[in-house]
Structure 1
Amino acid sequence: MREFKMFQADAFTDTVFAGNPAAVLILKDWLPEAGMQAIAAENNLAETAFVIPDAEGYAIRWFTPAQEVAFCGHATLASAHILATEYGATDPIRLSTRKVGTLIVTPEGNGRYGMDLPALSPTPLQTPEIFATLFPGGWVAACRNFENIFVELPSAEDVLTYMPDLAAIETLGPQGLCITAAGGHTHDGKQVDFVSRYFAPAAGIDEDPVTGSTHSTLIPYWSTKLGARPFSAFQASPRGGYLEGCLAGDRVKLTGRAATFMRATICLPD
């Protein structure tokens, strides 16, 4: 029997039971892919992150309960939080990835972290026929990046009250669906510049509580529509998550917090 330390942290929140939970394993070497996928399925969280040392600092991979994904923001934040609080990392933490380059997370103290992510500017989308079913009240605009579809709805209230047809969303294919609108507020009434929600049933995620990676496209999108400036944002899932960010050339700067929920030992067969 092999034993490994595993942590669970809530990202984009300063308290447990909010934000987005992610499991984190800091390893010496990658486990077999089937083993990492099995651990993620057993955890049944939106993402489980696996981190190993490399020449630049660390390398990171993310798994949903159903598949490996190309980019995950909240599990990156959770991983940096664990590296900082459990393993003593203090300098900017560089995390190399397989598809989106190097991500940099800087501990700023008091559970606060600055994230330097690639800007994934949206590209035009030819709206599929299923949109008439998904958005009977209409939509303002639609676009996409390499892994998700983004739809602007007429109002923040439309985002908050949206009732997802998960079976219909799944017909979009492997892409996730992010809906967004200008304005709105957090669950406790704090005004923000834009709100969003994210659904990825094909990846085993009905609704993601807080999605850092979608903001690599939402920040460039709203910078084009509202002018490039610092933004406050709220992902209006039932748990909810507050983010701050801005566009900086070809990068997106996000700020978020994280809180450790669990320290555990998992046991794997030899």
Structure 2
Amino acid sequence: MKLPLYQVDAFASNPFEGNPAAVVPLNTWLEDDLLQKIAEENNLSETAFFVQHEESFQLRWFTPMEEVDLCGHATLAAAHVLFRHLGYAKAQVCFLTRSGSLYVRRTPQGYAMDFPATEIDVIEAPEVLLKGLGNCKPREVRAGFDYVVVLENEAAVKALVPDFSAWHSLDKRGVVVTAKGDKVDFVSRCFFPKLRVNEDPVTGSAHCELAPFWASFLDKTKLIGKQLSARTGTVVCNVKEDKVILSGQAIDYLKGEISV
């Protein structure tokens, strides 16, 4: 069987920036085991698969390790493939996902994604989480679907060298480290060793947790977040009640065909 495959740099304005995602359009769903094997073979943080369903598209995301409930950059990449390569003519596309209906629209600046906002609550940090932080002392620790560690400043976020082995047993998806930015509203780094993604380059879904927190802290609803991975990436966030509009660009890297 031959399948098309696209690799797209999401939340990027130039190649080799942002977060690369593989996108595999399907006519019908394959067995879950095969979807997982394709994602493992691609060895990117996410591979997105979609199948058209009436006027919408069913969308699923797989890391090399397992299927996940929400992924921002691979959703942006999937929308880019539909709009740019597959002739999708409407201004907005609806994806049916494990996290509900997600909408992506074209804008003059790229793409805007309508995602659910996630509130993060202050918690007492588990010992294993603190162990992974080493000598880095958090200002506070919160939790949503990730642990969110708030540090004193941008320099502390840049300097962090986690002990990933300590975080394999965490009960959350991963660890997001954040601080107020020097030149942008906030900065972050995102770590998911349980999913075989030690550090994710740019994580849209994490901004569903970060944007409401920083919107409240900074008393503003439109924010610019920068993820301080080696590739870096910028996510524009607009917080609207229980939604976060995540905006960014996407750049093609390759188009190919896989044999399965």
Normalised to the residue count of structure 2, the TM-score between the two structures is: 0.96
3-state SS of 2:231 partner: coil
What does 1:220-231 correspond to in 2, within 5 Å?
Answer: 220-231=212-223
| Mapping 1:27-38, distance limit 5 Å | 27-38=26-37
d(CA) in 2 for partners of 1:250, 1:229? 12
Matched-pair contact (CA < 8 Å) for 2:129–2:166: no
The alignment partner of 2:138 has SS state of: coil
RMSD: 1.3
Q: Cα distance, 1:120 vs. partner?
A: 1.1
Given that 1:173 and 1:202 are in contact with CA atoms closer than 8 Å, whether structure 2 keeps it comes out as: no
- Aligned pair count? 258
Q: How do 1:5-44 residues align onto structure 2 when only pairs under 5 Å count?
A: 5-44=4-43
Which residue number corresponds to residue 195 of structure 1? 187
1:243 positional shift = 1.1
Residue 151 (structure 2) aligned to one of 153, 158, 182 = 153
Which whole-Å CA distance do the structure 2 matches of 1:132 and 1:102 have between them? Answer: 35
**Map of 1:134 onto structure 2:** 132
Output the CA distance in 1 between the equivalents of 2:235 and 2:136.
28
> 2:74 aligns to what?
75
> Which residue identity does 1:71 align to in structure 2?
L
Unmatched runs of 5 consecutive residues or more in structure 1: 185-190
Question: Does residue 54 in structure 1 map to residue 53 in structure 2?
Answer: yes
**Equivalent residue letter for 1:91:** A
The letter of the residue matching 1:267 is S
Structure 1 letter corresponding to 2:104: V
Whether contact under 8 Å (2:129, 2:167) holds in the other structure is no
Distance 1:76 1:197 in 2: 20
For residues 215 and 204 of structure 1, the distance between their equivalents in structure 2, rounded to whole angstroms, comes to 20
Q: Which residue of 2 is the match for residue 256 of structure 1?
A: 248
Q: Could you say if the C-alpha distance between residues 230 and 174 of structure 1 is closer, same or farther in structure 2, counting changes exceeding 3 Å?
A: closer
1:116 partner amino acid: D
Report the TM-score when normalising by structure 1. 0.92
Give a deviation string over 1:114-151, Cα, whole Å, max 9, x none.
Answer: 11111111133231113442332311111111x31111
132 and 118 in structure 1: CA distance in 2 versus 1, 3 angstrom threshold:
closer
Seq. identity, %: 38
1:4 aligns with 2:3: yes
Gaps of 5+ in 2: none
* Shift in CA distance, 182/81, structure 1 to aligned 2, threshold 3 Å: same
* Structure 1 residue 174 displacement after superposition: 4.9
Q: Please say which of residues 53-62 and 211-220 is displaced more in the overlay.
A: 53-62
Which letter does structure 1 place at the counterpart of 2:69?
A
Q: Provide the C-alpha distance between the structure 1 equivalents of 2:8 and 2:79, rounded to a whole number of angstroms.
A: 10
Moved more, 171-180 or 33-42: 171-180
User: C-alpha separation between the residues in 1 aligned to 2:242 and 2:172?
Assistant: 26
SS across alignment from 1:16: coil
1:179 aligned partner: 177
